[in-house]
Structure 1
Amino acid sequence: MLVKYNINSLCTENISHSVTLVPRLKYSLNLLDEIIDILDSKRNELKKSNENLTHSFDEFDKTHRSALNLEHLVVFSLDLLLQVKNRTNLVSHVGSIPEILPSAIPMIRMVSAQLFGILPNCSQKLSEISVHLGSIVLDSAALTTARFDFSLSNTESSILINEVKLMVDSKLNKQYPNLDFFKLCNT
C-alpha cells in the first residue's frame, strides 16, 4: 500500500518535532545548573578545609593527599561541566545541535562516573542529562538529516578534557604554590 505524502505536512511534522527538543534541552540545562551549583559549593567547602594544607602538607599522609585529590576532582568536574554548559548555550537552531552537542555527551558521562562515589545524586542527574542530550542529538539529526562522525566527536571531547585538566592543574598550582599538583594527582 502506498501512502501519498504532502510536502507541506512533512514540513509541519518536522517543525512539531523540533519544538519538542526545546523543553528537553531546557530541562537538561536546568539540571546541569543544579549540579554546577552543588559542585561550586563543594569546591568552596573543600578550598576552605584544605587551606591549612598550604603550610602543613605531608605528602606521605594519605588524608592530606586524599583531600587534595578530592578538591582536584571537584574543580575538574566543575570546570568541565561549565565548558559543557557554554557549548550547550551555543545551540541556536536545530541544525546546530548535531554539530555542538555530540562531543558534550562523553564529557558528561566521564564526570558522572567520577562523581559516582562522592556525589551519587549528581552522578545520577548527569546520567539523566546524557540520556536527554543523546535523544536530542538523535532527534535533531533525524530532522536535519545530519550524519555523525563519532571519531571526530571523541577527538573534540578528548581535546577539551585535556585543556580543562591543564587549566585545573594551573589553578590549583597557583592556589597551592608549594605543592606539585600534577605529580600528586597522577600518582
Structure 2
Amino acid sequence: MLVNCNSLEIENISHSVTLVPRLDYSINLLSQNLEILKEKRQEVKKQNQILLEDYEHDDKTHLKSLDLEQTVLFCFETLLQIKKQVSMISGVNTIPEVLPPIIPMIRTVSAKLYDIFPNCSQKLSELSVHLGSIVLDSAALTKARFDFSRSNEESSIFLDEVKLIVDSKLRKQYPNLDFSK
C-alpha cells in the first residue's frame, strides 16, 4: 500500500533521522575533550602544588602556572556544565531551547584553548559546527525561532557562573593567593 507523502514531510523525516547520530557524535566529541582536560587539569594541579609553599608574586612562571590552571579548570568546568545541559535534551522540541546558548560557550572555550591545547580547540570548533547544524535542522522541524540576543545573554550568565565556581575552587586550593584579576 502506498502512502501519500509530500516532499516537505519526507524532508522533515530525513532531517529528524539524521539528528540522533549527529547528536551522539557531538556528545562523543564533548566527552573526548572533557577527558583530555581532566588529565591536563590533574597534571597542572600537581605541578602547581609547589606554589602552596613557594609562591612569589613577582615570579612570572608562577603567575603563568596559576593562569594555566585557572584556564584549564574554567574550560573543564564549562564543558562539564555543557554536557549536563546536553543531557537534558529529551526530544527534537527541546533542542532549540537547550543548544543555542551552548554554542557560544563552546566557542569561548575553544578560543581559550587555542594557544595551549590546539587539538582540543580544533575538536571544540568542530563540535560547535555540528551543534549549529543540529540546531538549524531541529528548528526547521519544529518551526522554532531564535532570539540570539537572549541566547548570548544566557551564555554570558552561564560563563560568569562557571568563573565564580572556578575562582572559588582555586581560592580553596590556594588560600593564600590572590585570584582577583
3-state secondary structure, aligned to 1:101 = helix
Q: For 1:13 and 1:142, how far apart are their aligned partners in 2?
A: 10
| CA-to-aligned-CA distance 1:3-24 (integer Å, 9 cap, x gap) | xxx5676445423311101111
Q: How does 1:78-89 map to 2 (within 5 A)?
A: 78-89=76-87
Question: What residue number does 1:18 align with?
Answer: 16
The letter for the 2-side match of 1:163 is E
Q: How does 1:75-114 map to 2 (within 5 A)?
A: 75-114=73-112
| CA-to-aligned-CA distance 1:79-119 (integer Å, 9 cap, x gap) | 00111111111111011000000000000000001100000
Question: What residue number does 2:174 align with?
Answer: 176
1:72 to 67, 70, 79: 70
Question: What residue number does 1:119 align with?
Answer: 117
3-state secondary structure, aligned to 1:118 = coil
Q: For 2:53 and 2:175, how far apart are their aligned partners in 1?
A: 10
Structure 1 gap segments, 5+ residues each: 1-5
Deviation for aligned residue 1:150? 0.3
Question: What residue number does 1:152 align with?
Answer: 150
Question: What residue number does 2:164 align with?
Answer: 166
Q: For 2:53 and 2:88, how far apart are their aligned partners in 1?
A: 42
Give me the CA root mean square deviation.
1.2
| CA-to-aligned-CA distance 1:139-184 (integer Å, 9 cap, x gap) | 1001110000001100100010000000000000000011112x2x
Deviation for aligned residue 1:125? 0.2
TM-score w.r.t. the length of structure 1 is 0.92
3-state secondary structure, aligned to 1:114 = helix
| CA-to-aligned-CA distance 1:19-47 (integer Å, 9 cap, x gap) | 10111111111011000000000000011
The letter for the 2-side match of 1:106 is P
Structure 2 gap segments, 5+ residues each: none
Equivalent pairs, count? 178
Q: For 2:163 and 2:8, how far apart are their aligned partners in 1?
A: 46
Q: For 2:104 and 2:11, how far apart are their aligned partners in 1?
A: 30
3-state secondary structure, aligned to 1:84 = helix
Question: What residue number does 1:3 align with?
Answer: none
Identity %: 64
